[in-house]
Structure 1
Amino acid sequence: MTGWLLILSLLVLGGVLSTLGDRLGSRVGKARLSLFNLRPRRTAVFITVLTGSLISALSLGLMLLVSRQLRVGLFELDDLQAKLQQSRDALNSSRSAQFNAELDLKQARSDSNQVQNELKQAKKRATALRNELAPLQKQRQQLEAERARLSRDISKKDADIRRTEVELANVRSRISAAEKELKQLETNLIALRRGDVVLSSGQQLAAATLRLDNPSQAKAVIDRLLQEANLEAFRRVRPGEEANRQILLVPRTDINRIEQIIRKPGTWVVYVRSAANVLRGENVVYAFPDARQNINIVRQGEVLARTTLDQNEKSSETVRNRLSLLLASTLAEVKRRGSLSSGLQFDGSEMNRLGKALLNRSQERIELEAVALRNSDTADPVAVVLQPVGGPWTKIAEDKP
């Protein structure tokens, strides 16, 4: 309805302006007016043309003022067509995406149906496996119980085997020590036939525990230790004489080797020992130096060796031999760890009390252990106590009938 009103208004406005223009042109022609130095006739034509242009401008202005659609169509038509084309392209893309989505949805539904079928089959298989697993689990429990019983039996047998191996190792160690002692006795016997042996092979002449602040001190320290060893050798080999000369002979290569060792960081134990048996009155004592790093050998409360007294080992000789074997095994253990101690420190009275308690014991079988009384380093003496496994020896006396 608005469009028809606009057209009607344009027609009316055009007719009014045309009439006004015609009358204005006629009056200008009759009045023979002249504009811009034009002839009157030309001036009338100019007025008529100007009036027509005014009619067109007013008509267009009125249409643009009244109709928003005309304004949009006249000034924004190209943009609207571009947006329309983009919308059409987007619509086509959306339709394509929708089509692909529908295909994916169909495929997903198909896959879902397949998964559900597989799930049903899996549930059926799981139910069947549970039914098969129940008797197997029961059988496994029976087998585990049997395995536990067998493990206990094997553990007991392993313990017996280990105990036997320890005893065998102790016996072998004792035999080896006895063989070495026999060889040493034979060597000493030969030496005794020649004279008095005042230094035995391997006997220590001097020892020192040191930690160098400066590696250049190594030579002076070794020289001082060799002097002490020479004085000790002179005192033993030629007693009563003034130690006014060098009787100790040590290879220079060994001295250089020891110097290189103690130059390294750490605490070192350096000692000099006799290289062979030496008779009283000899003029030369051959010796060799050695060095070991001063480290912890045993810790307080540490079990160093064990042995077992069986039910038939109740005689005094058997108990004494077993205690001696335990001490020998302990000394061999600390020697194996690197101790320079020539023997063990222990309380003799406590050892006698332990022996008496073992003779009067009521247990058929008892295990004994050698326990370190304090921490000991490489050059320190090793102090031990012998006691039953698990507690002091006084508990044995409490079990007497």
Structure 2
Amino acid sequence: MRASFSSFLLILSIILLSGVIAYVGDFLGRRIGRKKLSLFKLRPRYTAFLVSIITGILIATVTLLVLSAASEDVRTALFGMQELREQLNSLNQEVIARSLELENTKKRLEDYQSRVQELETKERELQNSKAALEEQTRLLGETVAQLEKQRDELQQELTSLRAELARLRSGIVAIRQGRIVFQDDEEILRAILPGGMSEDKAQEALLAVIRKGDQLALQKGAGRHSETGQAVFVPEEDFRQAIDRIHNASNDVVVRLVAAINSLQGEPVIARMYVDENRKIFSQGEIVYQKALTIDEETNIDALLGEVLRELNAVGLKQGILPQEGKVGIISASNLTEVFQELESIRGKIVLRAVAEEDIFTAGPLRVRLEVLKEQTPEGQATQSEQGGQNDTA
């Protein structure tokens, strides 16, 4: 606003000054014309022209001087035009150069932007690769952890196998030296317990069986466990199953404590528990076994009785009588001697039979009495044991 007012004042001043100069020039021209004055020996008419010309020159000169004094731009336009042209040309050249530089810069910028896009794409790919590598690293870490766990388990298993190997070697040595307390699957003891007991009472009864087994094992040379102090160890699973079977049984049961492995002298015995229903198999006086035989001079009575005892043992096992030391039958020595003597004195066909001396149950033993019948059983006729529904040995 201030610059516009100054310009307006300058223009107004120039107009007023030009008017004053024109007035003075006109006034002088008229005076010269009236008085017919002459300048430079010119005619008055030409002198008046000269004054008008000088007046115009003065107006232009004063205008230029005032404008030059008032504005630097006017001075530059009047006296620095060439320099301005040169500067303009220089600026034009610089603009062209800058334009070229700008074009080059734009191209470089486009290249940079393209490279930036490529780098961003590569960065995304690297991020994806990084994520994949991290996932692989995590999976590898889990695999390493699993392998280390397997290695530890294998080392523990190896240690256990080495210990087992050492134990087996010592067992072999012990077997060679005869230092086995109980052999694998050898019965330690058996007990008959009432079925249907409560679980607590069944547990107490089984613990009593184990304590008795401890005493027997210690008497035979077994050692106590370093932590529990027991000579007989029964796995928890077998123990719980035995309790359940006793609790659920409706009749008396036979509980057998059996060595699970060969037990060395001085070591605790690892045992299993077997629970079987103690059912009646033979009644007192019932024929358990009978066989038709022919006795002559060449008959070996010892071999004959041995074969009969083996067959009698097989009958007991087949009927479900639990063996003791691999045998189920018991015959008194006096009865066996009597039968032996009787067979030595007989020639011809006879029937040898075994009769139960008492009620015989699953727990055994198969206690029988041998009898020799001189009457021959007709060929094809069923024996008394077969008629009673029992399994006989031919």
TM-score category (smaller protein): 0.3 to 0.5
Report the TM-score, using the length of structure 1 for normalisation: 0.44
Q: Which structure's CA Rg is the greater one? A: 2
Report the TM-score, using the length of structure 2 for normalisation: 0.45
